């Protein structure tokens, strides 16, 4: 069949799972017209990928989707911690950790919190929200082929229901098409890492009496260590719907077909310690845990995000979060380049920033699986990195990229988390009040433009005025805010907060923050010519000229 006349869009997204849908949301918020294609007829129906960390929820907060996601996640809002036990009926049980935020420390670090929302609940929220933002999302639509040139990418699509083919011409293609990415394969990009770690069969099931054995232990997951039937139990509704991950050993000749309803039900009964438990298996899905990172994050105008460029062990819920944060990093850069306020070279910083984070995070995910003795995983001898989840999720720093003034030799993941602004790192959260009396986080300022924060004294006003002049001259969206308590202040920090100390500067200095909330540059004090300085900084960061 001859392809229809081609359409033209700035961005085409391949893949309609968490990362693809997040890409659509972030691009839609920035006003970037795009098309998303997904070969399956709908969103995921299997509960998985449920842990959304602080950084991911901050991004969804800024995008306006956080309340919708928390509503979808309400049934598991009281579930916390990881339990390990011989069985649910034994006395030999311990919490690997009981609370995600013991002592409430995180409220001073972030305006958001962790959220337990399974992929099958989260994806429909993102889908509806993305469409409400104007996204053209097409399910049952497959990317058949693509070719790129200096000016764009020509994509041939097929409607899997009708067989009808069409052509879309796009400036940039985002491949969020999973760990076996056809796009990555077509580009000939390999990967490195430890490879396959272990495999599981994920079974969904109903068991009305299982809640009695669980009792008031509302866990995120329970690692059951019975040597005759180990596995991981996860609640879906804390009542009668559950998920169980049973070890699968294809290297021993086990086939997926070997996991019958009867075998799975017997395995679950033994694992939970309730021999007469009535179980109805409602679904199954095989999955493999792996540690791999693509050797490159794209070629030319074709860029990859999520599982297409990195695979991680599920322990710690790092994989989907890293992918969503890939999408956020890429979205603002695509918006800047297609909007004409950044040079094409800005997109080269995507791989430079995100790939080292994936390498460090995938190593930490494997180490955490070893620490938790994840069923089915026999790690190699020797220790791994022992950094906590918070510093990996929130404290990572880019070694090089679209920023100035960072030490390129510093570690991607530091030993401890310190909420202090550094170029190439996340800008810290501070509560402020606007002139209209609205309480906001400084993180809420970062989405659609570059942002300059200064003090409210004469030096701050000089920075503020220079920002307006430079933004107009360069054609760059740049918002400037003066923080303080005077009548000149645009934002008033919460009482008792030394916002300049947190941002590593004096009241006479300035800090430039990117639309993704990462610090682009910082001047600890005043400079002789703020306009010339900002002009030079913005030109370098955005690859202008």
Note the CATH architecture for domain 7-76+106-191+293-371: 3-Layer(bba) Sandwich (3.50)
Q: Do 214 and 344 contact (CB within 8 A), yes or no?
A: no
**Cα torsion for 137, 143, 145, 151, to the nearest 10°?**
20
Question: What contacts 257, CB < 8 A, 6 or more positions away?
Answer: none
Could you state, in chain order, the average pLDDT of each consecutive group of 10 residues for the chain (545 residues)? Answer: 67 97 98 98 83 95 97 92 92 85 81 91 97 98 97 97 96 96 97 88 94 94 93 94 93 92 96 96 90 96 97 82 97 98 98 96 77 54 53 92 92 87 95 95 98 96 97 97 95 94 95 98 97 98 93
Domain positions in the chain are 7-76+106-191+293-371, 193-290, 431-541
Q: Do 225 and 217 contact (CB within 8 A), yes or no?
A: no
Among candidates 298, 9, 295, 299, which has minimal Cα distance to 150? 299
Q: Where are the alpha helices (DSSP H) in 182-317?
A: 182-187, 210-214, 261-272
DSSP per residue, 331-347: HHHHHHHHTTSS-GGGG
Task: Give pLDDT, residue 3.
Answer: 45
**Cα torsion for 518, 342, 30, 35, to the nearest 10°?**
-120
Question: What contacts 476, CB < 8 A, 6 or more positions away?
Answer: 341, 342, 450, 470, 538, 542, 544
Task: Give pLDDT, residue 5.
Answer: 47
Name the burial class of residue 492, with classes exposed (0-12), middle (13-18) and buried (19+) by CB atoms within 10 angstroms of its CB: buried
CATH number of this structure's domain 193-290, picked from the four choices 1.10.10.10, 3.30.9.10, 1.10.150.110, 1.10.287.1080: 3.30.9.10
Supply angle C-alpha 121, 306, 133, rounded to 5.
Answer: 55
Q: Cα-flanking dihedrals φ and ψ of residue 148, to 5°?
A: -120, 155
Count of alpha carbons within 13 angstroms of residue 96, beta-carbon side: 21
Whole-number Å distance between alpha carbons of 56 and 361: 15
Task: Give pLDDT, residue 157.
Answer: 97
Whole-number Å distance between alpha carbons of 165 and 143: 10
SS3 of residue 54 by DSSP: helix
Among candidates 146, 150, 152, which has minimal Cα distance to 181? 146
Q: Cα-flanking dihedrals φ and ψ of residue 502, to 5°?
A: -65, -35
- In this structure, the number of other CB atoms found within 10 A of the CB of residue 89 comes to 12
Task: Give pLDDT, residue 384.
Answer: 42
Separation in Å, CA 120 to CA 123, 156, 497:
6, 29, 40
Helices first, then strands: H and E counts in the chain: 13, 25
Would you identify the CATH topology of the domain 431-541? Glutaredoxin (3.40.30)
Q: Do 508 and 526 contact (CB within 8 A), yes or no?
A: yes
Among candidates 388, 511, 521, which has minimal Cα distance to 109? 388
């Amino acid at each position: 069949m001859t392809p229809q006349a081609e359409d033209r869009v700035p961005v085409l997204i391949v893949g309609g799972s968490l990362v693809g849908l997040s890409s659509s949301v972030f691009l839609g918020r920035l006003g970037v017209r795009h098309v998303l294609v997904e070969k399956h007829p709908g969103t995921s129906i299997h509960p998985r990928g449920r842990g959304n960390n602080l950084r991911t929820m901050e991004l969804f907060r800024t995008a306006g989707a956080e309340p919708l996601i928390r509503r979808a996640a309400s049934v598991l809002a009281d579930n916390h911690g990881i339990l390990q036990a011989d069985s649910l009926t034994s006395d030999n049980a311990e919490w690997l950790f009981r609370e995600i935020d013991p002592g409430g420390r995180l409220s001073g670090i972030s305006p958001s919190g962790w959220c337990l929302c399974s992929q099958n609940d989260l994806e429909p929220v993102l889908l509806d929200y993305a469409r409400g933002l104007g996204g053209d999302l097409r399910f049952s639509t497959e990317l058949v082929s693509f070719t790129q040139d200096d000016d764009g990418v020509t994509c041939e699509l097929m409607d899997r229901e009708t067989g009808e083919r069409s052509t879309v011409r796009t400036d940039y293609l985002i491949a969020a098409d999973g760990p076996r990415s056809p796009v990555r394969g077509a580009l000939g990009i390999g990967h490195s890492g430890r490879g396959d770690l272990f495999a599981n069969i994920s079974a969904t099931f109903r068991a009305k009496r299982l809640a009695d054995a669980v009792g008031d232990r509302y866990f995120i997951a329970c690692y059951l260590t019975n040597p005759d039937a180990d596995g991981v139990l996860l609640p879906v509704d804390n009542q009668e719907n559950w998920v169980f991950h049973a070890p699968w050993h294809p290297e021993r000749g086990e086939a997926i077909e070997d996991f019958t309803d009867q075998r799975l039900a017997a395995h679950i009964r033994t694992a939970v310690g309730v021999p007469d438990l009535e179980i109805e298996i409602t679904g199954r899905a095989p999955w493999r845990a792996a540690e791999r990172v693509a050797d490159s994050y794209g070629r030319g105008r074709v860029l990859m995000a999520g599982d297409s460029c990195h695979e991680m062990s599920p322990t710690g819920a790092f994989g989907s979060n890293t992918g969503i944060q890939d999408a956020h990093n890429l979205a603002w850069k695509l918006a800047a380049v297609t909007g004409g306020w950044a040079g094409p070279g800005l997109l080269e910083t995507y791989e430079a920033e995100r790939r080292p984070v994936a390498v460090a995070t995938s190593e930490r995910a494997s180490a955490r699986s070893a620490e938790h003795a994840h069923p089915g995983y026999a790690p190699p001898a020797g220790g791994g990195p022992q950094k906590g989840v918070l510093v990996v999720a929130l404290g990572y720093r880019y070694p090089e990229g679209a920023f100035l003034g960072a030490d390129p030799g510093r570690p991607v993941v530091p030993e401890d988390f310190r909420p202090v602004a550094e170029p190439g790192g996340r800008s810290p959260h501070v509560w402020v009040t606007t002139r209209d009396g609205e309480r906001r986080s400084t993180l809420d300022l970062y989405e659609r433009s570059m942002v300059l924060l200064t003090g409210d004294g004469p030096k701050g006003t000089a920075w503020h005025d220079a920002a307006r002049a430079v933004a107009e001259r360069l054609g760059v969206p740049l918002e400037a805010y003066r923080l303080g308590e005077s009548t000149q202040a645009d934002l008033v920090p919460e009482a008792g907060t030394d916002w300049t100390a947190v941002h590593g500067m004096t009241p006479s200095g300035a800090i430039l923050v990117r639309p993704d909330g990462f610090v682009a540059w910082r001047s600890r004090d005043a400079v002789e010519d703020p306009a010339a300085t900002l002009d030079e900084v913005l030109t370098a960061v955005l690859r202008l000229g």
